[in-house]
Structure formats: C-alpha cells, structure tokens
Copies of this chain bind each other. A is one copy, B any other.
Amino acid sequence: MRIAIVGAGALGLYYGAVLQRSGNDVYFLLRSDYEAITTRGLTVHSVNGDFHLQAVKGFRSPTEIGIVDLVLVGLKTFANQFFSELITPLIGETTRILTLQNGLGNEEQLAALFGEDKILGGVAYLCSNRGKPGVVHHLSEGRILLGEYLPASGTITEDIASCFRAAGVECRVVSDLKRARWEKLVWNIPFNGLCALTLKPVDALLCFDLTRCLVRDIMEEVIAAANAQVLVKNIPLSLADKMVDSSQKMGQYKPSMLIDRLERRPLELDAIFGVPLRLAAKRNVPMPHVQQIFALLQLVEKD
C-alpha cells in the first residue's frame, strides 16, 4: 500500500516505520527530522525489538509525494489548520485518510475538507516518545482501534486493518468510533491534564492516594459525559479501575501534553478538553474537575 505519513512525530514515525518494514511504500512528510532521516535513515528503539530503516523516503512538501492510497495523519491537533495545505496534494479518487490524532473533532474537520466517505479514525494506544532526530522510542503498547467516520461497506477499512496487522500492530475494526474515542479520553483527560499541570509523570499521580482518587473521579466525569452522547453501548464505570490499574505499569511515562509543555510547544487543549467539554455541556453533564484543568492549562500555556 502507498502510504503518506503527515505529522511524523513519535506516533507517525513509529507506525510509518513498522508499515515500511512490512513492505508498504511509505512516504514521510518531514520538517525537523528531514536532514537526519534522509541521510542516516530512521531508528526505532522498541520494546518489541530495535530496528533501523536505512532507505526512508522523506519529503519536505506533499506535492513531491503525490497521490497515495492512505494518508496517515499524526499531526498535533493545534496544527489542524494546515490540513488542506498538507493533505490535498495526496488525495486521489480512492484515497482514504486515517487520523490517529488525539481527542475529538479531527474526523469532523477532515470530513468537511475531503468528504465524509474518505475519513477513518483510529484510536492509538501507544506509548512512544521522540529521541534525537531520526530516532523514535516505542515504550509500550501500540494497538489501534479503527473505525469509519461514516459507517459504510467496510472492505477498505478491513484492508487497512490487515495492513497494520501485517506490520505487527494489533488492530481491531470497531463499529462505534465515537465510543472508542471517548474511551481513550477516559485516559487522556486525567493523565495528560494532570501531568501537564503538575509537571509530574504518570507514576507520581498514581503513587499518592489523593491524586490517584482524583484521577478516578475525573475518569468518572468523562465516562458520564461519554454515556450522555448516545453511544451504541455505554462505557462501564469499571473501565476507570481497569485504566488506573493498567497505568501503574507505565512508570515514569510522560504523556504527550506534559512533553509538549516541557518543550514549550502549544498544547492539544481543544481536542482533548474543549470539544469534550462542549459536548458534555450540550447534554447538561457537569465536568467541574475537567473544566478546572482546562482553564488552568490555558492559563499556563500563555507563558
């Protein structure tokens, strides 16, 4: 499959690398890593085994890439304003666009630009960080829940899922993408929010009783807001306990929003907090903890 990676950060580089390794024709749209990757290739330090790709197709502009079968979008959501400029040159009759971005609202923005039937969403459970230029660290997990924005035939979606599986990525097609997105928010909202606000890694929050309880309270707020959105099947409260438990294994993992703040990049506040809060408000579900985190992160982002 001919695949373009738009937004080649820790997530885009990792999935692009494993897709290329398994035989796909992968094109990376690059900025800061361009020199390093086009001269020295791409190195993945992975819990599943390190590997290096010497010949990597890196480009500075999407027009150099041209039309592909699949656009994999890994951009930070604060760069969504560049969707049209970065993606339009890649789109042909049968191209599909898969966003693996964080939060809510990304499929909607892509659909408005390129048509609902072209859009797929993927919820990636991946712990990865960037290393020095040309290096990505895959720390744990990596599975993807894949869904169509406009549930339709599904054969192409199954092909894309197979393509990920052939690359060694656990990939499941889900019928309710919206539910999968909210499930991910049950993790993303407390951990990205509180870690970015306190500048602490995941384990610091979980080692201390009061903040571990706070994480769980926030998860309950998110689950209540999610279940008010008319999902095919409600998210059970037990997901909160499951996520708190499984997060214990992450150790000193720094969620992406903490890294963004430490590196003085913009934060993905609207996708992870703003859109969910507006959807909850529409259904009259109060989210006092989440509202407070959102307000305080907007304040500290001004620094």
Interface residues in A21-65 (C-beta closer than 8 Å to B): none
A296 at the interface (CB under 8 A from B): yes
**Given A208-B302, A300-B198, A302-B208, are A292 and B295 neighbors across the interface (CB < 8 Å)?**
no
Stretch at the interface among A5-13, A152-160, A210-218: A210-218
Chain B residue at smallest Cβ distance from A292: B289
A298, B198: Cβ atoms under 8 Å? no
Q: Which 7 A-B pairs have the closest CB atoms?
A: A210-B295, A288-B288, A214-B295, A211-B299, A211-B295, A289-B292, A198-B300
User: Which DSSP category, helix, strand, loop or mixed, fits chain A's interface?
Assistant: helix
Chain B residue at smallest Cβ distance from A214: B295
Residue-by-residue, is A262-303 near B (CB-CB < 8 Å gives 1, otherwise 0)? Answer: 000000000000000000000000001101111110111010
Max chain B CB contacts within 10 Å: which of A208, A288, A291, A298? A288
A165 at the interface (CB under 8 A from B): no
Interface residues in A184-224 (C-beta closer than 8 Å to B): 194, 197-198, 200, 204-205, 208, 210-211, 213-214, 217
B298, A214: Cβ atoms under 8 Å? no
Set of chain B residues within 8 Å of A205, measured between Cβ atoms: 299
Chain B residue at smallest Cβ distance from A213: B295
* A208 CB to nearest B CB, Å: 6
Chain B residue at smallest Cβ distance from A298: B210
Set of chain B residues within 8 Å of A288, measured between Cβ atoms: 217, 288-289, 292
A214, B302: Cβ atoms under 8 Å? no
Apart from A208-B298, A208-B299, A214-B291, what 13 extra A-B contacts exist at CB < 8 Å?
A194-B296, A197-B197, A198-B300, A204-B299, A205-B299, A208-B302, A210-B294, A210-B295, A210-B298, A210-B299, A211-B298, A211-B299, A214-B292
